[in-house]
A and B are shown apart, each in its own frame.
Chain A
């Protein structure tokens, strides 16, 4: 596979990942749907997988970077499966509102499966030695990495405001640390 095509495919993969993470952040800010600890863990796994895509785009198209994507996605898949199983018994409710008929954790599971499949396919068709170390990054790759970095920094801020330096509540209702900073009365 030509190196240039691999970079564009990785850039498109990173943009798709940014789309999912951006939508989750949009839902959190606009509809005030605060992420639970398992939701945050799944976001973390998506960012972990994104690091592999960033390395494929900016450093080198290499098998070890696909390893990063696959390992991160397998861990994220376990987290998503745990959350699906928590709510699989009828009558036990669900966390958050569904999107296109599926809850976010089910979408996350499908995304992780897709990333594993995509990375495996790329491994099957790439040269065993990988590509040469890259000197320049195409604009699409730079844009995708910039967006990814903005999203991860936004999640650092959001998680700090929600959980502070400790563990997050199982069913969060407010940005506890922000309330604490602002001196609001309804802090748990």
Chain B
């Protein structure tokens, strides 16, 4: 799961490099959503919280 945001950002970088700006932003959004979800999972699991 932790690798997922890296994959999205690598695709975003590659598509950005190929000048496909809209596609790069789409993958950046997917990566940010996955990254924030990982951060939330880490914080809630380490604090033993259950929202």
Closest to A67 in B: B25
Chain A 33-60, CB within 8 Å of chain B: the 1/0 string? 0000110110011011011101100111
In this complex, how many residues of chain B approach chain A with their Cβ under 8 Å: the count is 30
The answer to the question of A20 belonging to the interface, with a C-beta cut-off of 8 Å to chain B, is no
- Knowing A51-B16, A68-B28, A75-B35, say if A167 contacts B2 (CB, 8 Å): yes
B23-51 contacts to A (CB < 8 Å): 24-25, 28, 31-32, 35-36, 38-39, 41-43, 45-46
Contact in complex: A48, B28 (CB < 8 Å): yes
- Knowing A159-B2, A163-B3, say if A41 contacts B42 (CB, 8 Å): yes
Contact in complex: A48, B32 (CB < 8 Å): yes
Shortest beta-carbon distance, B46 to chain A, in Å? Answer: 7
Contact in complex: A170, B28 (CB < 8 Å): no
Give chain B residues whose Cβ lies under 8 Å from the Cβ of A71: 32
Contact in complex: A55, B42 (CB < 8 Å): no
The answer to the question of A127 belonging to the interface, with a C-beta cut-off of 8 Å to chain B, is no
Q: Which of B21, B39, B45 contacts A59 (CB 8 A)?
A: B21
**Distance A167 CA – B6 CA, assembled complex (angstroms):** 14
Contact in complex: A41, B38 (CB < 8 Å): yes
The answer to the question of A145 belonging to the interface, with a C-beta cut-off of 8 Å to chain B, is yes
**Interface hub of B3, B5, B10, B42 (most chain A Cβ within 10 A):** B3
What are 8 A-B contacts with C-beta separation under 8 Å?
A41-B38, A59-B21, A78-B39, A145-B13, A159-B3, A163-B2, A167-B2, A168-B2
